[in-house]
Amino acid sequence: MDAKFINPFLIATQNVFKTMLSTQINLGKPSVKANNLTLGEVTGIMGFAGDKKGTFTISFSKECATYAYRAMIGEDVPTINSDVVDAIGELTNIISGQIRVELEKLGINLRASLPTVIVGQNVAINFITPLPVITLPFSFDDGGMTRQLFIDFSFE
C-alpha cells in the first residue's frame, strides 16, 4: 500500500466535513488495521472499480453519527434510526465522490458502486484482499466532547 493514497482520503474527508458540516476534523495516526471489527456504530461501505479495485468504509461512533445528522438536517435525533442511516449513506456517497476527485489528480480513475450502511458495534467486516487495510482515525471536539470516525480502505 502506497502512502500516497492516504492524502486523497484525508483531504476528501476533511473537505466534506468542512463544507457540509462546518466542522474541522483532525487526523490521528494512520495504521494498518489489526482486526476486522467496525470501530464505530454506523458504517458506510463503498466499492470502487476502474483503474484499480478497492473498498473503503467510514465508521461513525454513535455520537459522531448523530452529530453529523444534526449538522446536515438540523434536527436532533436520540438514536440511530433509518433517517440517520440514510444520512450516513449520503455522506458516504459524497465523501466517495471527493475521494475519486482527489485520486484523479494522481491519475487514478475510479467509479463508485452503491453504498451500503451497516449498523452495529464490533461487526466483523472482512476485506477480502491479501493487501493491508489502512485505518485513518479522525476526531473533532464538540463542546468539550471528542467525537470520532474511522476510514478503512484497501486497493489492488
User: Which residues sit at the interface with a second copy, rule CB under 8 A?
Assistant: 44-50, 53-55, 57, 82, 85-86, 89-90, 92-93, 110-120, 123-129, 154-156
CB of 146 to a second copy, least distance (A): 26
Question: Among residues 11 and 123, whose Cβ is nearest to a second copy?
Answer: 123
Own/partner pairs for 35-38, CB < 8 Å, 24+ apart? 36/124, 36/125, 36/126, 36/127, 37/122, 37/123, 37/124, 37/125, 38/118, 38/120, 38/121, 38/122, 38/123, 38/125
Per-residue CA distances from 62 to 84, 86, 97 (Å): 10, 14, 24
Q: Which of 4, 29, 126, 13 is nearest to 68 (CA)?
A: 13
CB of 115 to a second copy, least distance (A): 5
Question: Among residues 86 and 141, whose Cβ is nearest to a second copy?
Answer: 86
Question: Among residues 54 and 136, whose Cβ is nearest to a second copy?
Answer: 54
CB of 82 to a second copy, least distance (A): 8
Question: Among residues 26 and 81, whose Cβ is nearest to a second copy?
Answer: 81
CB of 9 to a second copy, least distance (A): 15
